[in-house]
């Protein structure tokens, strides 16, 4: 009994310490505790740096949430911060985490250059690194956890082909709104959809329209870029947008021109906005990446590393810059259309409450969302 009270007090103190050590809403430090209230085996601290909160809703609504849940369940100390698309802040956060005792650093880089600097500094201090979602080219992180990103692109290409054929489009002009040129994933997505669409351009079934990358996945810039595309080529009949944010930027412009729903647009991330655009008939598909699985896989590696273990990854990817293999866990993405939009809700990724608001309530019922 006495021991119970003592350990509970220790846990409460640790929790209080952790919470005060890092205020602000962008970061949180905490110490996990078992159900009985006693701190679990002491492990090194895990630092996570997320990239921003505007290029996709996922980072704050999904990645942070699932990583936090996994770390809490494991009872390890962690600190998750968001660099808000600021490369200098990214490096400062990494330095602070290491000063504060992080022994594992998990990063979603803003570009390979700054990612590499962070990883090399970590390595020189004996801190193990995990590339989360984005591979840092030339970085040589100890592990990489992501989805099969080329497959994401393939699903987008195939999705667009299906929507264009449903619309019986004749020699459609297809525009590309690619992801950030600094994100290796954007390169892989493009490889995937080019693999599907290039043969169509080559055979003359489709016509290649404007093709542009959106710096930093910036949604506002995407709108400006797409506006210019549509002005220069008013007959654009399909838009390969690399994620839901870029897709929504295109849809907003299409709406102004009364073309929404007529011109299929792709996406990625199964965000509430993307799914609502699908329900409204303005977006043809999105790609659902079960971020919980990605977060769980990364957290499992990080927790083992923090405890001084040397976990094995199930596969590897080749860093195109160094030619070296990086141990990797790659998960499987899933294409989402109006037919299976309900799967994303059933999986718990978005709730019916957030998706089926106002005008979407009836559309949700039609789409079979319970």
Stretch that binds ligand BGC, among 28-36, 50-58, 73-81, 135-143 (CB under 6 A): 50-58
User: Nearest distance from residue 265's CB to ligand BGC, in Å?
Assistant: 15
Between 30 and 129, CB nearer to ligand BGC: 129
Per CB under 6 A, contacts with ligand BGC among 257-286 are 268-269
Does residue 112 interact with ligand BGC by CB under 6 A?
no
- Helix %, strand %, coil % for the chain, to 5? 45, 20, 35
User: Nearest distance from residue 189's CB to ligand BGC, in Å?
Assistant: 8
Does residue 217 interact with ligand BGC by CB under 6 A?
yes
User: Nearest distance from residue 144's CB to ligand BGC, in Å?
Assistant: 12
CB 315 within 8 A of CB 328: yes
For residue 337, give the H/E element and its range. Answer: none
Between 147 and 360, CB nearer to ligand BGC: 147
In angstroms, the CA 120 to CA 110 distance is: 15
Per CB under 6 A, contacts with ligand BGC among 125-144 are 133-134
Residue 188 phi/psi, 5° resolution? -70, -40
User: Nearest distance from residue 185's CB to ligand BGC, in Å?
Assistant: 4
In angstroms, the CA 285 to CA 335 distance is: 7
Between 246 and 345, CB nearer to ligand BGC: 246
What value, to the nearest 5°, has the Cα angle with vertex 226 and ends 222 and 229? 145
Half-sphere exposure of residue 10: CA atoms within 13 angstroms, side-chain side = 14
User: Nearest distance from residue 268's CB to ligand BGC, in Å?
Assistant: 6
CB 286 within 8 A of CB 266: yes
CB 153 within 8 A of CB 191: yes
In angstroms, the CA 282 to CA 28 distance is: 38
Q: Which of 63, 158, 183, 294: binder of ligand BGC (CB under 6 A)? A: 183
CB 345 within 8 A of CB 360: no
What value, to the nearest 5°, has the Cα angle with vertex 311 and ends 310 and 314? 145
Q: Which of 29, 30, 55, 276: binder of ligand BGC (CB under 6 A)? A: 55
Stretch that binds ligand BGC, among 11-19, 156-164, 178-186, 277-285 (CB under 6 A): 178-186
Measured N-to-C along each axis, helices 87-99 and 112-124 cross at an angle, to the nearest 10 degrees, of 10
User: Nearest distance from residue 21's CB to ligand BGC, in Å?
Assistant: 28
Stretch that binds ligand BGC, among 93-101, 179-187, 248-256, 340-348 (CB under 6 A): 179-187
In angstroms, the CA 283 to CA 301 distance is: 36
What value, to the nearest 5°, has the Cα angle with vertex 341 and ends 338 and 346? 155
Does residue 194 interact with ligand BGC by CB under 6 A?
no
CB 307 within 8 A of CB 317: no
Residue 147 phi/psi, 5° resolution? -105, 170
User: Nearest distance from residue 32's CB to ligand BGC, in Å?
Assistant: 27
Does residue 185 interact with ligand BGC by CB under 6 A?
yes
Between 43 and 326, CB nearer to ligand BGC: 326
Does residue 56 interact with ligand BGC by CB under 6 A?
yes
Query: Where do contacts with ligand BGC occur on this chain (CB under 6 A)?
Result: 55-56, 58, 133-134, 179, 183, 185, 217, 243, 268-269
């Amino acid at each position: 009994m006495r021991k119970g009270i003592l350990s509970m007090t220790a846990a409460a103190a640790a929790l209080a310490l952790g919470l005060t050590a890092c205020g602000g809403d962008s970061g949180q430090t905490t110490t996990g505790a078992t159900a009985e209230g006693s701190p679990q085996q002491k492990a090194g601290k895990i630092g996570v740096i997320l990239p921003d909160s505007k290029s996709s809703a996922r980072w704050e609504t999904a990645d942070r949430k699932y990583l936090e849940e996994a770390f809490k369940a494991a009872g390890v100390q962690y600190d998750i911060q968001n660099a808000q698309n600021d490369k200098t802040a990214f490096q400062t956060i990494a330095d602070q985490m290491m000063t504060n005792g992080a022994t594992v650093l998990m990063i979603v880089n803003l570009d390979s250059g700054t990612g590499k600097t962070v990883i090399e500094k970590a390595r020189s201090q004996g801190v193990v690194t995990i590339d989360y979602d984005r591979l840092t080219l030339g970085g040589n992180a100890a592990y990489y956890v992501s989805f099969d990103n080329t497959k994401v692109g393939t699903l987008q290409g195939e999705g667009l082909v299906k929507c264009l054929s449903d619309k019986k489009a004749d020699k459609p002009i297809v525009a590309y709104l690619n992801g950030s040129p600094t994100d290796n994933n954007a390169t892989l997505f493009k490889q995937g959809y080019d693999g599907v669409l290039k043969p169509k351009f080559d055979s003359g079934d489709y016509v290649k329209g404007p093709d542009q990358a959106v710096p930093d996945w910036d949604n506002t810039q995407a709108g400006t870029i797409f506006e210019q595309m549509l002005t220069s080529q008013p007959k654009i009949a399909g838009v390969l947008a690399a994620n839901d944010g870029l897709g929504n930027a295109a849809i907003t412009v299409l709406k102004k021109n009364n073309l929404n729903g007529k011109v299929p647009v792709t996406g990625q991330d199964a965000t509430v906005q993307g799914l609502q655009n699908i329900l409204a008939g303005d977006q043809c598909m999105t790609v659902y990446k079960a971020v919980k699985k990605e977060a769980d896989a990364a957290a499992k590696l990080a927790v083992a590393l923090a405890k001084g273990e040397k976990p094995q990854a199930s596969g590897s990817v080749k860093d195109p810059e160094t030619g070296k293999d990086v141990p990797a866990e790659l998960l499987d993405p899933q294409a989402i259309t109006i037919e299976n939009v309900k799967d994303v809700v059933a999986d718990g990724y978005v709730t019916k409450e957030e998706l089926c608001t106002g005008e979407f309530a009836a559309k949700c019922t039609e789409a079979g969302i319970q």
